[in-house]
């Protein structure tokens, strides 16, 4: 067995625990770990300073793809009709693996976790159950650490049964985002200032930056100036179940505008153009103007 194989085997139990918490299925967790091994074999990790972190990131991304595919099946079939059989069988995690992790959770929690949107589930599990920093969670989700913190918070409240708070947040979030987009379309600079957090920022992922968006715009005045009069082509959308916006070309989504709202103010706007087909994004119909 070569050194890489030894290192992977030394981390297999941890990777399996991560995958199981994210997917709630022993069979799917084992598949995710095996796919992680295959990707490791195909990758050059000679310059990777933290192989354990690299492996955790890879297995988490694989699980995220599976969770999003599962959510898509539910949307097509309706309700719980597409819930995987693996969540309803009697198989249990290897007792030895369970005993090795003091932070193990029971099936009751896994049932609750299965009600979380994929991004919330991943942010909550990786941060709250496995102690990853939000910077590390950010590397998995492709979202900012600020957004990941908010996703984990929503997941935490759902797990604690405080779904009414999450729903109230959803309504406030929608109202703030729609007011911001309306002010942007109509070039209402002062109204934009009113809706922006003092530490407001706009960030672009690599794909959006390659399309000409600035990598970072910081400050309330600067963000208001950047968006004033510039959202006329943006359409209403939802990302991970919360209000967002998008820009499309000939029916193909090109950029998703992800909003982080704090204290009823826009704290951050992320321009996401890379792998948008992997995002849990849904286009919404335009609001009818008042008669």
Spell out the SS3 assignment of the chain. Answer: CCHHHHHHHHHHHHHHHHHHHHHCCHHHHHHHHHHHHHHHHHCCCCCCCCHHHHHHHHHHHHHHHHHHHHHHHHHHHCCCCCCCHHHCCCCCCCHHHHHHCCCCCCHHHHHHHCCCCHHHHHHHHHHHHCCCCHHHHHHHHCCCHHHHHHHHHHHHHHHCCCHHHHHHHHHHHHHHHHHHHHHHHCCCHHHHHHHEEEEEEEEECHHHHHCCCCCEEECHHHHHHHHCCCCCCCEEEEECCEEEEEEEECCEEEEEEEEEEECCEEEEEEEECCCHHHCCEEECCCCCCCC
Domain count within the chain = 2
Residue 21: which of 122, 99, 147 has the closest Cα? 122
Of the candidates 161, 184, 216, which is a domain's last residue? Answer: 161
Residue 90's pLDDT is what? Answer: 37
The tokens for 128 are 């709250």
Domain stops at, among 131, 161, 191: 161
Q: 205: domain range?
A: 165-283
80 and 68 assigned to the same domain? yes
In this prediction, residue 83 carries a pLDDT of: 37
Residue 290 lies in a domain: no
pTM of the model: 0.83
Please check whether residues 136 and 231 belong to one and the same domain: no
Q: What pLDDT was estimated at residue 105?
A: 52
- The pLDDT value given to residue 75: 55
Handedness of CA 27, 29, 32, 36 (dihedral sign): negative
Quick one: 157 and 169 in the same domain? no
Residues 154 and 197 in one domain: no
Residue with tokens 């050059």: 44
Q: What is the pLDDT of residue 74?
A: 60
Pair (132, 226) in one structural domain: no
Same domain, 193 and 131: no
* Cross-strand pairs, 260: 268
- Reading the chain (291 residues) residue by residue, the pLDDT tens digits are 578 899 999 999 999 999 999 998 889 999 999 999 999 999 988 888 889 999 999 999 999 999 988 877 765 545 443 334 433 333 344 544 444 443 455 667 888 888 899 999 999 999 999 999 999 999 999 999 999 999 999 999 999 999 999 999 999 999 999 999 999 999 999 999 999 999 999 999 999 999 999 999 999 999 999 999 988 899 999 999 999 999 999 889 999 999 999 999 999 999 999 989 888 899 999 876 544
Indicate which CATH number applies to the domain containing 236.
3.10.450.50
Longest alpha-carbon distance in the chain: 73
Which of 220, 206, 219, 196 minimizes the C-alpha distance to 255? 206
Tokens describing residue 118: 């994929």
**Assigned domain for 186 exists:** yes
291 in any annotated domain: no
Q: Is residue 67 part of a domain?
A: yes
């Amino acid at each position: 067995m070569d050194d890489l194989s030894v290192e992977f085997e030394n981390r297999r139990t941890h990777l399996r625990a991560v995958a199981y918490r994210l997917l709630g299925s022993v069979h799917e967790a084992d598949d995710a770990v095996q796919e992680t091994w295959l990707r490791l074999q195909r990758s050059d990790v000679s310059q990777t300073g933290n192989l354990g972190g690299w492996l955790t990131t890879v297995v988490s991304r694989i699980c995220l793809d599976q969770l999003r595919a599962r959510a898509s099946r539910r949307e097509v079939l309706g309700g719980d009709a597409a819930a995987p059989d693996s969540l309803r069988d009697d198989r249990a995690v290897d007792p030895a693996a369970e005993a090795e992790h003091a932070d193990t959770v029971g099936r009751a929690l896994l049932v609750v976790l299965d009600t979380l949107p994929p991004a919330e589930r991943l942010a909550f599990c990786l941060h709250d159950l496995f102690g990853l920093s939000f910077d590390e969670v950010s590397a998995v989700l492709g979202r900012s650490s600020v957004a990941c913190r908010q996703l984990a918070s929503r997941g935490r409240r759902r797990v604690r049964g405080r779904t009414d708070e999450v729903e109230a947040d959803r309504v406030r979030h929608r109202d703030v985002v729609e007011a911001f987009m309306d002010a942007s379309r109509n070039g209402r600079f002062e109204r934009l200032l009113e809706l922006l957090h003092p530490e407001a920022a706009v960030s672009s992922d690599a794909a959006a930056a390659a399309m000409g968006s600035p990598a970072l715009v910081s400050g309330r005045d600067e963000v208001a100036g950047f968006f004033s009069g510039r959202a006329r082509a943006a359409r209403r959308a939802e990302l991970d179940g919360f209000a967002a916006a998008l820009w499309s070309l000939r029916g193909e989504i090109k950029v998703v505008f992800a909003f982080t709202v704090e204290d009823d103010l826009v704290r951050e706007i992320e321009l996401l153009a890379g792998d948008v087909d992997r995002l849990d994004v849904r286009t919404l119909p335009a609001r009818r103007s008042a008669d």
